[in-house]
Amino acid sequence: MTLELASCTYAYRRWSAPVLDDFSFTAPSGLTILLGPNGAGKSTLLKLAAGVSRPRRGTVTFDGVASHTKSYRRAVAWMPQHISPLPSLTVREYVAYIGWLKGMSRSEAWEQAAQALSRVELDDQAGTKTTRLSGGQLRRVGVAGALVHKARILLLDEPTAGMDPRQRRVFRDTLNSLTEDVQVLMSTHDVTDLAEEADHVVVVSAGRILHAGSTEDFLAHTPSGSAPGRAAEGAYSALLGSEETGL
């Protein structure tokens, strides 16, 4: 089960400098945390991996299947950084709509939407219009949208941003409850409480991979004398050197 970006070049505008240039990346198994300062290219990487943006050059594949195909879309879930509420849709309709877009039948999408909402503790808001939700609730709708169609890889762009501490815990429990064959690649600025739970850590800076390896490898960069509980933060800062850490 391999999601692979091979020699991808991507720019937002025709004449602007590429954000990712000849960029190659293979998503590791398990849970991978994507770190990097603001503007490093994390969201761009996730959008290419999700197939919502197409590289100017290079290929994006999942087990050899190209990213513009229906089976790729079904296998790969994406939670964008910015979730836009849809005024006419309730929370359950919104999540079911994502399932339907991913190729589920209407009835299956409707059924699975209820289950996905219960996993993010939003069952009681199922009938609420998405425009009436708080920022943190909307993030949870985004997570439910990524869970609804039982994808084989979840690409989550800052899923915990704006979530309260209880909901961060629920989110971590949700990740832990995923079956072993589901891969997760998620960007975050929340280094401290997530790096220890990840199998792999990838650090991106200025469109380049600065570090990719096991969490253990990542934490080996922790400077001696780091305060207890700040090991991940220390490792991240050490890897970025004097650059802006974006923490």
Ligand X SMILES: Nc1ncnc2c1ncn2[C@@H]1O[C@H](COP(=O)(O)OP(=O)(O)OP(=O)(O)O)[C@@H](O)[C@H]1O
Chain residues that interact with ligand X, rule: CB under 6 A: 12, 19, 36, 38-44, 81
Q: Tokens 């309709």: give the residue.
A: 93
Residue 90 forms beta bridges with which residues? 129
Q: Round to whole Å and give the CA distance between 241 and 216.
A: 19
Instruction: Give every strand in the sheet of 20-26, ordered side by side.
Output: 20-26, 3-10, 57-62, 65-66
Shorter beta-carbon distance to ligand X: residue 38 or 84: 38
CB nearer ligand X, residue 43 or residue 245 = 43
Q: Which is nearer to ligand X, 189 or 200 (CB)?
A: 189
Decide whether 45 or 95 has the Cβ nearer to ligand X. Answer: 45
Smaller CB distance to ligand X: residue 36 or 145? 36
* Whole-Å CA distances, 233 to 85, 150, 222: 33, 32, 8
Which CB, 37 or 234, lies closer to ligand X?
A: 37
Helix axes 135-147, 106-119, angle to 10 degrees: 130
CB of 171 to ligand X, least distance (A): 18
Q: How far is the CB of 214 from ligand X (least distance, A)?
A: 22
Closest approach, Cβ 207 to ligand X, in A, equals 7
CB of 19 or CB of 198, closer to ligand X: 19
Break the chain down into helix, strand, coil percent, rounded to 5. Answer: 40, 25, 40
Q: How far is the CB of 132 from ligand X (least distance, A)?
A: 26
Continuous segment of H or E residues that includes residue 44: helix 42-50
User: Nearest distance from residue 81's CB to ligand X, in Å?
Assistant: 6
- Nearest distance from residue 243's CB to ligand X, in Å? 13
The answer to whether the beta carbons of residues 66 and 141 sit under 8 Å apart is: no
Return all residues near 111 (Cβ < 8 A) that are at least 6 apart: none
CB of 155 to ligand X, least distance (A): 12
Q: How far apart are CA 130 and CA 2, in angstroms?
A: 34
